[in-house]
Amino acid sequence: MTQGNLSTRALQRRRLLQAAGGLSVAFTVPLTTSLAQAPVRLPGSMNTYRRLEGWLRIGTDGRVSAFSGKVELGQGIITALSQIVADELDVDLEQVQLVSGDTAQSPNEGVTAGSLSIEQSGGALRQAAAEARALLLKIAAQRLGAASPEQAQLQTRNGWVIAPGGTQFSYAELAGGDALKGEIKSPVSPKPAAARRLIGQPVPRQDLPGKLTGAPLYIQDMRLPGMVYGRVVRPPSPRATLQSIDTAAARALPGVVAVVRDGSFVAVAAEREEQAIAAAQALRASARWNEDARLPPAGEALFPFLKTMRSEDTVVGEKSDPASFARATRTFMAEYTKPFVSHGSIGPSCALAQWAAGKLTVWSHAQGPFQQREDLAKALQVPLSAIRVIHSHGSGCYGHNGADDVGLDAALLARATGGRPVKLQWMREDEFQWEPYGSAMAIRMRAALDAEGRIVNWVHELWSHTHSMRPGDPDGDNLLASWYLEHAQRASPARNIPQPAGGGDRNAIPLYDFPNQKVINHLIPEMPVRVSALRTLGAYGNVFALESFMDELALAAQVDPALFRLRHLQDARARAVIERVVKMSAWAEPGRALGIAFAKYKNLAVYTAIVAEVTVDRTSGVVRVPRAWCAADAGMAINPDGFANQIEGGMVQSASWTLHESVAYDRERIAVRSWADYPVLRFSEVPVIKVELIDRPEQASHGVGEGSQGPMAAAIANGFAKATGVRLRDLPLTPVRVKAALA
């Protein structure tokens, strides 16, 4: 749903509920609930929420309401899920209304992350629509006196069940009462690929018209009657504690409605936004803080420091073949690094909160509304049932940025406004200095070649903090303000996401066929810098290192890098994307500096092969990527246009990370306050990108949104080595670093 004017949005929601016959089911079962009484495994998230009415309703007007716990983050998921439902149920796309990310209505499908929405929510909604269609056919057959829909020769079209003689029943009249309710125990089969009308078609995105025309779509555009505006006063450095502050002077400023001080948390609400900003500036000027120099060494000194920190060491992937190892004739070692990286969200985080009759409603652009609600309840010390979180459009997140945190900021301030809703917007410096960053990584690669130039031993070793500190962990509270309250919450302990998906070690286990291999993850639990999930988690750094090292080994073996990869791959789909991108890019054409890289995201999702063309200005040290090509295979493509958009977006974002991005700091404070302190890729630097999809309509659909970032980084690094004859193993490839390497 669009956000815009809240009264309009509320009216749309009421109409939707009326059309659905009233929806009162609240999902409170955690995603890990065991359902021993349901032995048959269902697709996606439906395996946890097995009741049909939790996923799909047909209203008295024939409109279909579908419910998803996944949320729209700019990846086009609302359109794709609507396509799935409309196609499977045989209705027009306009008849489907998708309700997502509302803790009072939607199933809890966890966080919208990991490129899992199509797999989890899409799988569940496809099954729900198939079940509903089968029930509608069965009811129609019974009304006709037939033993089965097949005997009655029934068809479905545009929301109607049609019999050969012309008799027809609308979905609305067949779906009354309890017809579409109950637990799914013996699932029916969804449609075969040949019977689909919408899946596989480039349907226009539902969210784009408003975004492109400036419609009031985002949470920043929302308005509620009596709403006031909030700002937070942050400490000057992480872990600083508030010693004193003059709140009385701020309360006397024009328009100020409330000032909150709770421990080291300070916030202000005012009638107008500029009044809230002025009051926050006055509070900041009067505040006195106790600071410590506790940040890690900066620059090149960070990575040796990471290796000295206490770590929890895990071997996550190992196999051994002593006979092949004995053939080793040459050994190689290289080390690669990735710095702390910001999410760089264009719009700073924002939330709207209102307390009424002891209940809290938060409008949020967080990726996990249910998980945000859990941590809100802990910090506010209220029962879970007293909080409702409704997802609203934000301006991109790319992982765990400040979207969850600002919801608690707004809720704490709203408790002091006498029931008036508070819209709290972070400032740009809040976002840069207080969001959780993508973790820095130090990676050591070792390998051995035999006399024929084949890899016979492979060791991948990485040092990194955790790559996920999202809300919803039962052992802590991961909302920023909760750590600064007088009765402070503790952050959850640092953990690894287990394989096969992995966290810091995501994509560290190679898909290549090596007879001997070992992957060691050194998780560093102490985190002087706040870190959490940034798009791809560890896959960006690991694929950069793995695929750069593959090129270095190909050079040592005197084998073409594309052919070298194919020699070590048996997976036919992996080979297909490499062969396709080689053809797309005219790989063998002389005179160009082309770099190639490949990965299967998480070794579970999209296959991606990328070739990047690289140019280097040796005088200025500027690296550019004028063109890039990608071949990708994620099984059945729901919306080919959305598929390509996600791949392209990931390639552009990766180019920005690879060429520019790194968080600057000293031992006490984060130095990034504005875009001047954090350069990103400019429009003039965006490469011309060509994407080709290998569609496999009979295969399961897998996520694509995070599949291209790692291969793009390695392809650029490999292209740089081809252009200069010099290998850079430290990200980003800045002009200063390039000129030093070329000198």
pLDDT tens per residue across span 616-627 = 999 999 999 999
Task: Give pLDDT tens digits for 24-60.
Answer: 333 333 344 444 454 689 999 998 899 999 999 999 9
Task: Give pLDDT tens digits for 550-581.
Answer: 999 999 999 999 999 999 999 999 999 999 99
| CB-based contacts of 743, cutoff 8 Å, min separation 6 | none
**Residue ranges per structural domain of the chain:** 6-199, 219-291+343-434, 303-339+437-468+503-742
Mean pLDDT for 89-117 is 94
Tokens 């991108």, residue located: 581
Class of the domain covering 219-291+343-434: alpha beta
Closest residue by Cα to residue 302 from 725, 667, 629, 10:
667
| Assigned CATH topology for domain 303-339+437-468+503-742 | Aldehyde Oxidoreductase; domain 4 (3.30.365)
Closest residue by Cα to residue 239 from 678, 670, 674:
670
Mean pLDDT for 67-89 is 94
**Given CA atoms 495, 654, 500, 605 in this order, what sign does their dihedral have?**
positive
Q: Is residue 590 within 8 Å of residue 694, measured between CB atoms?
A: no
pLDDT given at position 12? 37
Band of residue 15 on the pLDDT scale cut at 50, 70, 90 = very low
With pLDDT > 70 as the criterion, what percentage of the chain qualifies?
Answer: 95
d(CA 496, CA 528): 17
Tell me the CB-side half-sphere exposure of residue 459, using CA atoms within 13 A: 12
Buried-state track 507-535, b at ≥16 Cβ within 10 A, e below 16? bbbbbbebbbbbbbbbbbeebbbbbbbbb
Between the CA of residue 274 and those of 223, 229, 287, 405, what are the distances in Å? Answer: 16, 9, 20, 22
Q: Is residue 611 within 8 Å of residue 587, measured between CB atoms?
A: yes
CB neighbours of residue 134 within 10 Å: 15
- Provide the pairing of β-strand 437-438 with 531-532: parallel
Reading the block at residue 690, the tokens are 């060509």
d(CA 607, CA 602): 10
- Provide the pairing of β-strand 359-364 with 387-391: parallel
pLDDT given at position 20? 33
d(CA 178, CA 570): 51
Q: Which helix (H) or strand (E) holds 450?
A: strand 441-450
Task: Give pLDDT tens digits for 321-368.
Answer: 999 989 999 999 999 999 999 999 989 999 999 999 999 999 999 999
Task: Give pLDDT tens digits for 452-487.
Answer: 999 999 999 999 999 999 999 999 999 999 999 999
Between the CA of residue 429 and those of 21, 203, 260, 643, what are the distances in Å? Answer: 46, 38, 21, 33
Band of residue 415 on the pLDDT scale cut at 50, 70, 90 = very high
Q: Kindly give the interhelix angle for 123-143 and 77-89, rounded to the nearest 10 degrees.
A: 20
pLDDT given at position 39? 61
Alpha helices in 472-558 (DSSP H): 539-557
Q: Is residue 659 within 8 Å of residue 734, measured between CB atoms?
A: yes
Kindly report whether the peptide bond that precedes residue 732 is cis, defined as omega within 30 degrees of 0.
yes
Mean pLDDT for 579-600 is 96
Classify residue 426 by its DSSP letter.
Answer: -
| CB-based contacts of 458, cutoff 8 Å, min separation 6 | 446, 447, 510, 512, 514, 516, 517, 518
Question: Helix and strand tally (H, E) in the chain?
Answer: 20, 26
Query: Rounded mean pLDDT of the chain?
Result: 92
Q: Is residue 501 within 8 Å of residue 467, measured between CB atoms?
A: no
Predicted confidence (pLDDT) at residue 202 exceeds the cutoff of 70: yes
d(CA 277, CA 440): 33
d(CA 117, CA 110): 10
Burial class (CB in 10 A: 0-12, 13-18, 19+), 289: middle
Residue type, 65: S
Q: Is residue 613 within 8 Å of residue 592, measured between CB atoms?
A: yes
Structurally, at CATH architecture level, domain 6-199 sits in 2-Layer Sandwich (3.30)
Helix (H, G, I), strand (E, B) or coil at 119: helix
Q: How far apart are the first and last CA of the chain?
A: 55
Task: Give pLDDT tens digits for 246-295.
Answer: 999 999 999 999 999 999 999 999 999 999 999 999 999 999 999 988 89
| CB-based contacts of 487, cutoff 8 Å, min separation 6 | 263, 381
CB neighbours of residue 121 within 10 Å: 31
Tokens 């994509």, residue located: 507
Task: Give pLDDT tens digits for 284-332.
Answer: 999 999 998 889 999 999 999 999 999 999 999 999 999 998 999 999 9
Q: Kindly report the length of the chain.
A: 743
Q: Is residue 518 within 8 Å of residue 458, measured between CB atoms?
A: yes
Buried-state track 148-161, b at ≥16 Cβ within 10 A, e below 16? ebeebebebeebbb
**Given CA atoms 597, 601, 607, 612 in this order, what sign does their dihedral have?**
negative
d(CA 236, CA 284): 9
Reading the block at residue 726, the tokens are 């010099």
Q: Do domains 6-199 and 219-291+343-434 have the same CATH topology?
A: yes
d(CA 269, CA 422): 7
Reading the block at residue 129, the tokens are 């629509």
Q: Is residue 549 within 8 Å of residue 447, measured between CB atoms?
A: yes
Kindly report whether the peptide bond that precedes residue 436 is cis, defined as omega within 30 degrees of 0.
no
d(CA 270, CA 227): 9
Predicted confidence (pLDDT) at residue 22 exceeds the cutoff of 70: no
pLDDT given at position 23? 29
Q: Is residue 723 within 8 Å of residue 604, measured between CB atoms?
A: no
